[in-house]
Amino acid sequence: MTALLWACTLSASAYAGAPFYVVKADTLVHLNEVTVTAKRIEHAGDRYVIHVPTNENKNMDEVLRQAPGIWMDNRSILINGTGGTKVFVNDREIRLEGEQLVAYLRSIPAQNIKRVEVQSMADAGRSADLQGGIICLYLRKKTIDGLSASLSLDERTGSRMHTWQPTAFLDVRKGKWNVYASGAYTLRPTDKGRASSVRHYRSDNIAMQSSERVSSPYRHYRLSVGGLLDIDSTQQIGLETEWAGSSLRRNSEALTLLSIAGAARNSRGDYRQQSQYDAGSIATNYKKTLDARGSELKVMGDYIHKSSSSNNFYSILSLWNNVDTAYSKHTSADYDIASADVSVHHRLPHAQQLLWGGRYAFTRMNNKAADCDLLYHEHIGAIYAEYSFHAGRWNGSAGLRLEHTATRNRTDGIHRNSTDLYPHVSVTYAFDEMKQWMLNLQYAEKVERPNFLYMNPTRIQTSEYAYMVGNPRLRPTYIHKFYLTLIAAYRYTLTIGCNSNKDIVRPYSRQDALNPLSNYVTYENHRGENDWFVALSAPIDMGRSLRLTVNMVGVRQYIRKNGDEKYDAHNLVFANATLAARMGKGFNAELEYSVHNRMYTSNSQIGTSQNVGFTVRKLLINGRMTVVAGVENLFNRYERYRVVLPHYTTDTEMRMPSDGRKIRIGLSWRIDKGKKAEKRKVESSAAEERNRMEQETKKY
C-alpha cells in the first residue's frame, strides 16, 4: 500500500553539445552533467501526488496497491480503511465497480500516466456523494501531428479457470484536432469451483449442511471514442462516447443435507442464473481560458442509458418425499442519467485560488418484474465555492457545497426532499522551509446515497433456503470525517482519524418469518458506526537495488444497530508489504504480501485473508515491450464468510479458481511517434450518479 518512492533522475545540459559552467570568485568549475533528484511522491495540502516515471513498467493496479493509505484486493479499493473510493481519469470517473474496476486498472500501463492524485476527502468542488475519497489519474503527454498507441494481452490461468484481457489505446493529433480511442475485453470462459456451507444450530435436534459445484463464466467489454477541437488558443470543445457491457452466468448443482429431530430431509438443487447489461453514454465539455493567470470557465454535459436484465431458474428435488419444485424469474431495468455542470476557476494574485459553480443531475430508474415494478426519479441541484491559499509555511483550503435532493418513488409513494450543507476544510503547516516535515488537518461532511441495488424490492432466490431483497425506504448515510496527518522526511506518513457515520446502510441477514429454515439478506439503516483508525506508510531502502514498502491501517470499529443498544467494538487490520528488486538488464522483480483480519458488518463477517504474490518483468526493445510473468495467491487462500442469527450461525467457504492461485503471463507494446504535448480527454459531469447505477450489476 505504500508507493515505491524511487528517485526519478533527470539529466540536463545548458545546450546541445556544450558543457555546463559555474563561475564563482574567479574559479572555473567544469561540469559535464548535472543530475537532479525529484521526489516521486509530493504531499500538497489535502492530497498527495505520485509522479510516475516514464520507465515504470507496471500497470496502474500494481502502482496503486503500493500507494500510501490505499489497500486493494480483486474487488475493492480502500483509502485509510474506508470503502467507496472513486477513480477518475483526467477528471472523468471510470464508471465501473468491484472486479470490473480493478480489471480496468490492470489494463492501463503506468507509462501512460503522468501523475496520480489521491484525496482521502474530496473537496467542495466535487459531489458530496464521494464519501470514500478519490483517485485521479492524469494521462502522460501525447504526440503532436502524430500518434501514441499501446497494445497488451494479459492471461491468468488457475485450476479450472482461464481469463484473457486484451486492451488497446490510440491517440492521434492533426492540427487542431485530437482523436483518441481505447478498448478492453475481459473473457473468463471457464471458472469451475466449489462452495460449502454449514449451519450450526443452537438446538441439537436440527442440523444442516450443503455443498455446491459452481460454474461462473464471465465477459466484459468497453469501447470509448472521443475527440477534442482547439477552437483557438483560449477555447476548446470536446465530445466522447462510450459503450460497455457484461454478462455473468452462475450455474450450480447443490446437495443439501437437512436433519430435523433425526429425520432426514435431503434435497438436490439445479440453479441457473444469468445477468447482463449494456450501456451507452455521451459526454461533452467546453473550456475557455479567462486571463493570463490561467483562470478557466468550464461547462460539462453528460447522458447515459443502461439496460440490464436477469434470468433465474431453479429446480429442486426433495429426496425424502420425491417432490420436484421449479422456480423461474425474469427482471429487467432501464436507467437514464443526465447532468450538467458549470464552474469558474479563478487564479488570483499571491497564490490564491477561488472555485465556484453549480451542478444539476437527473436520474430515472424503471425496474420491471412480474411481482413488482419500481419507478424511481431523483433530482440533485448543487452550488459550491472553494477558496485556497499559500502563505509561507501555511497552505489550506475551505469550501462549502449546498445540495438539494428530491426523490420520487412512484411505486411505493415515498417522496423525500432534503437540503444540506457540506463543508470541507484543509490546513497544512510545514515545520521547515524544504517542507520535509508537515502536519495536515482535514475535516469534511459527506453523504452516501443508497445505490439502486439496495433499493430494488425484487426478490432474488439464491438457493433453496436463501434469497435477497432490497429496501426502497432506505435513507442516505451522513458521514463526518476528521483526519490528522504527519509527513516526515518527505516520504513517511502517519495518519490518525475518524469516520463517524449516521444512518449507515448495511446488509443484514434475517430469518424468514413464514419459513424458519430460510434466511434472506436485505439492506437497513443502522443508527451509527464510528471508525477510528491509524495509518502508517513507510518505504525502507535496503541498498541501491532493494526497497521494502510497508503500509498498515489499524481500525477500531464501533457499531450500533439501534439507538438504545450499546456499541459493539471490533479491531480491524489491513496491511501490505512489497519487496522490490532491480536486477539489471531490464529485469525487475517484486514479492508482495497482503493481509486483513476478520471484518464485521452488522451480523455478517468476512474471514481473515492472506495473500502472497510474485512477479518478474523484463523490458525489451528499448523499453517499448514489456514481458510479465508471476504467481498470484501463491498459497491458494479462499474466501470465508459467517452469518450470525439468533437461532444458528452459518459458515460458508467459496473455493472459486478465479480467487485462488493463478499463473499470470502478460505482454505489452507501446508506440510513440511525433513531438510531445499534453494528453487530454473529455470530462464527465455525471460521474457520481453512474457509480450508484453500476452497483446494480453486482447483485447477481
Q: Which domain holds residue 603?
A: 176-666+679-697
| Per-residue model confidence as pLDDT tens digits over 562-582 | 888 888 999 999 999 999 998
Residue 501 lies in a domain: yes
Alpha-carbon distance of 475 to 449, in angstroms, equals 7
CB 396 within 8 A of CB 360: no
Q: Among residues 651, 633, 634, 654, which one has the least CA distance to residue 642?
A: 651
Average pLDDT value over all residues in the chain: 85
Q: What is the pLDDT of residues 448-472, one digit of tens each?
A: 998 887 888 878 888 888 888 989 8
Rounded Cα distance between 82 and 553, Å, is 10
* The pLDDT value given to residue 410: 76
* In the predicted structure, residue 688 carries a pLDDT above the cut 50: yes
What is the SS3 string spanning 194-231? EEEEEEEECCCCEEEEEEEEEECCEEEEEEEEEEEEEC
Is the distance from CB of 588 to CB of 55 less than 8 angstroms? no
Q: Give the model confidence (pLDDT) of 156-213 as tens digits.
A: 999 899 999 998 988 898 888 989 898 989 999 999 999 999 999 998 889 999 999 9
pLDDT of amino acid 3:
35
CA dist 91 and 123 (Å) reads: 13
Residue 37 pLDDT > 50:
no
pLDDT score recorded for residue 147 = 86
Facing residues of 539 across strands?
549
* C-alpha cell recorded at residue 664: 499470470
Strands 466-468 and 460-463, by their bridges, are antiparallel
pLDDT score, position 698: 44
Sign of CA dihedral 488, 494, 496, 499: positive
Residue 54 φ/ψ, nearest 5 degrees: -65, -20
Distance, in Å, from the CA atom of 679 to the CA atom of 113, rounded to the nearest integer, reads 10
638 and 659 Cβ atoms separated by less than 8 Å: yes
User: Is there a contact between 139 and 89 (Cβ–Cβ < 8 Å)?
Assistant: yes
How many whole angstroms separate alpha carbon 258 and alpha carbon 206? 8
Longest dimension (CA), the chain: 106
Provide long-range contacts, Cβ within 8 A and 24+ apart, for 557-562.
557/529, 557/530, 557/531, 557/600, 558/528, 558/529, 558/530, 558/531, 558/532, 559/526, 559/528, 559/529, 559/600, 559/602, 560/526, 560/527, 560/528, 560/529, 561/526, 561/527, 561/602, 562/526, 562/527
d(CA 518, CA 526): 23
On whether residue 302 sits in a domain, the answer given is yes
In a domain, residue 258? The reply is yes
SS3 for 250-317 is EEEEEEEEEEECCEECCEEEEEEEEEEEEEEEEEEEEEEECCCCCCEEEEEEEEEEEEEEEEEEEEEE
Per the domain annotation, does 225 fall within a domain? yes
Quick check: is 92 in a domain? no
In a domain, 693, yes or no: yes
| Cell output for 602 | 452488522
Beta strand extents in 466-543 (DSSP E only): 466-468, 477-488, 492-511, 519-541
Average of per-residue pLDDT across 424-436: 93
φ and ψ at 180, to 5 degrees?
Answer: -140, 160
Q: What is the mean pLDDT of residues 304-332?
A: 88
Dump pLDDT digits (tens) for 389-415: 999 999 999 999 999 999 988 777 788
Total domains, the chain? 1
Q: Given a cut of 50, is residue 30 above it in pLDDT? A: no
DSSP 8-class letter at 176? T
C-alpha cell at 204: 441439537
Quickly state the pLDDT bin for 609 (edges 50, 70, 90).
Answer: very high
Contact 425, 443 (CB under 8 A): yes
Instruction: Give the span between the Cα atoms of 432 and 434, in whole angstroms.
Output: 6
The mean pLDDT of 32-48, rounded to a whole number, is: 65
**Which region among 67-81, 347-361, 683-697 has the lowest average model confidence (pLDDT)?**
683-697
Model confidence band, residue 97 (pLDDT cutoffs 50, 70, 90): confident
User: What pLDDT sits at residue 109?
Assistant: 76
Burial 277-312 (b: 16+ CB within 10 A, else e): bebebbbbbebbeeeeeebbbbbbbbbbebebebbb
Give this prediction's pTM: 0.83
Q: What is the CATH number of the domain that holds 333?
A: 2.40.170
The pLDDT of residue 491 is above 90:
no
Cα separation, 267 vs 314, in Å, equals: 13
Which SS3 state, helix, strand or coil, does residue 662 take? strand
Reading across the β-sheet that carries 86-89, which strands appear in turn?
41-44, 47-51, 113-119, 134-139, 86-89, 92-93
Give Cα separations from 169 to 149, 165, 424 (angstroms). Answer: 5, 14, 37
Region of poorest pLDDT, from 22-31, 229-238, 287-296, 499-508: 22-31
Q: Confidence band (pLDDT; 50, 70, 90) for 681? A: low
Which one, of 501, 553, 550, lies nearest residue 80 by Cα?
A: 553
Residue 46 lies in a domain: no
pLDDT band at 373 (very low <50, low <70, confident <90, very high): low
Joined grid coordinates for residue 54 = 516514464
Q: Is residue 130 part of a domain?
A: no
